[in-house]
Amino acid sequence: MQIAVIDDWQDVARDVVDWSVLDSIGQVSFIHDYPADNETLAERLGAFEVICVMRERTRFDEDLLRRLPALKLLVTGGMRNAALDLKAAAARGIQVCGTDSYKHAAPELTWALIMAATRNLVAEANALRAGFWQQGLGGDLQGKTLAILGLGSIGQRVARFGQVFGMRVIAWSENLTTERAAEVDVTYVSKQELFEQADVLSVHLVLSERSRGLVDAQALDWMKPTAWLINTARGPIVDESALIKALQKQRLAGAALDVFEHEPLPRHHPFRTLDNVLATPHVGYVSRQNYQLFFSQMIEDIQAWAAGQPIRILN
């Protein structure tokens, strides 16, 4: 059996866990190429019966699945992957399964971005390397307002970080209630109040048709010119063109972004050069612990599927 581990952009998958346990089932190949058009992907992946993917990297739509007649099993990191057409896979008899996720990686990266952005750490570190000393004045978090857009499991962890740092924490989402927010000592506000009162606004929604473009030009106009926007959720939740215009016009202090509308981020994208943007290459879930969990459970899924046993089915 031919097994592919794709989306291995950093060439780390082979060393994070022991894949040799699959030797009795098939041959494992590690593929580091970035996503491409469906014709190229079909040539690249056509021989494989099992393909292991990362969340929201390579898109498997109905057209690509049709071009992969050998494919029998898709295994993704996590139990949610918007890049996989589950209905089309089911229609072709392709099983799709997933893994658990390490819940701490994304909140920790979020807080690292908040700290780095507000204290101007990257610019100060780069200036020191260039021979300079104390180039600017960092901001403070104590007493400021942390606004959480989406108070789910990740949003709640970020809220607790803010509380430890002495921040006032507010939250809004379409499904959030005053009572649910109060359970984690967070104040529920309206959408407009969330953006207007934020000193730091952090996005923690699941990408859906309802959340796509939710942070639009109007929402950005509500924000203070001293406020920071942090997005470690999904790029399309923020209207990218509206954010670029707001940043170019200095309507915000800045943005710290780990996710983008198109990934990898195009080489000449404004987010690579704007002085008030701190950008990282979607590393929110890229941690050793999370990859060990993803890949070890991918192996378990393949073993169970090959043995005809139950697997973690996505639905």
Catalytic site positions: 234, 263, 282
Q: What are phi and psi of 188, to 5 degrees?
A: -80, 135
CA dist 171 and 281 (Å) reads 26
Calculate the CA 277 to chain-centre distance.
Answer: 17
Match 């857009």 to its residue by tokens. 149
- Compute CA distances 5 → 32, 33, 84, whole Å: 9, 11, 16
Element holding 169 (H helix, E strand) = strand 168-172
Nearby residues of 63 by Cβ (< 8 Å), 6 or more positions away: 38
Q: What is the DSSP string of 141-158?
A: -TTPEEEEE--SHHHHHH
Other beta carbons within 10 Å of 230: 28
Short-list 39, 38, 25, 29, CA closest to 7: 29
